[in-house]
Amino acid sequence: MSNHLPSFELEEKYKKYGLVVGVDEVGRGPWAGPVMAGAVWINPILLSSLPKGIRDSKKLTAKKRELIYKDLSSLNIVMAIGQANVEEIDSLNILNASFLAMERAVISLQKKLSSNITTILVDGNRLPKFQKFTGNINFIPVVGGDNISLSIATASIIAKQTRDLYMCQLHLSYPQYGFNKNKGYGTKAHRIALTECGITCHHRVSFRSYQSVKI
């Protein structure tokens, strides 16, 4: 694992134009559950108070991610979550559903801020297509953004932690699928459960990756 940690350089670069927020999504690949996005604005005066080790959520253990999430929640970090459900994923496709989740997160975040968002740092190489959140917004796609931007990395952590908790709650209603462990991803045990029990209303019927499973 690289020791390189995300920095606040991009946020500093664009803050002269106004508020800079970071956005990232999680849950594009699973067979079940929503896609979620986190949106974060970090007040520069809080930089020294941030928990240590913020980085791409995929590079954190579940325990470390949980601890960072709790520390972030105790600070005055402005953050929000948006999601697109399974029906929206199946009707829009996963890419557009991810953009929808991002837009909902940004709309929710804007409601918590006293000034307008002017710059959105987005993980990846695609510019999200927002339908309802309009204005003079500067979208900055950042390839590997959760390894580069502190705001994007923070957004990835809150999105991942929130989605994991959601899937653990879903497990209580559908224990046979092991959502508490696989978080909806396509594991061998998940495939077996699909074969034996069929799909639920939380499965993405449009995903070809498990359409070959005999159910």
Amino acid at the residue 71: D
Task: List the one residue out of 103, 35, 47, 37 whose CA is nearest residue 72.
Answer: 47
Over the chain, what is the mean pLDDT?
A: 93
Domain that holds residue 67: 9-167
Is pLDDT of 129 > 90?
no
Is residue 51 in a domain? Answer: yes
**Does 202 reside within a domain?**
no
Q: What is the mean pLDDT of residues 179-204?
A: 95
User: What's the predicted TM-score (pTM) here?
Assistant: 0.92
The CATH number linked to 105 is 3.30.420.10
pLDDT digits 0-9 by tens, 45-96: 999 999 999 998 989 999 999 999 999 999 979 999 999 999 999 999 999 9
Sign of CA dihedral 7, 10, 13, 17: negative
Please indicate, yes or no, if residue 97 is contained in any of the structural domains.
Answer: yes
- What value does the CA radius of gyration of the chain take, rounded to a whole number of Å? 18
149 lies in a domain? Answer: yes
What's the number of domains the chain is made of?
1
Asked whether the predicted pLDDT for residue 197 surpasses 80, the reply is: yes
Task: List pLDDT tens digits, range 132-147.
Answer: 887 789 999 999 999 9
Question: Is 21 part of any domain?
Answer: yes
pLDDT digits (tens, 9 = 90+) for 91-115: 999 999 999 999 999 999 999 999 9
Instruction: Flag whether pLDDT at 208 surpasses 70.
Output: no
Alpha carbons 158 and 139: distance in angstroms, whole number: 21
Judge whether 181 lies within some domain: no
Bridge pairing between strands 35-41 and 138-142 = unpaired
Q: Classify residue 211: in a domain, yes or no.
A: no
- Taking alpha carbons only, the member of 155, 152, 108 closest to residue 132 is 108
pLDDT band at 210 (very low <50, low <70, confident <90, very high): low
HEC letters along 173-209: HCHHHCHHHHCCCCCHHHHHHHHHHCCCCCECCCCHH
In a domain, 204, yes or no: no
The structure tokens listed for 118 are: 């002017």
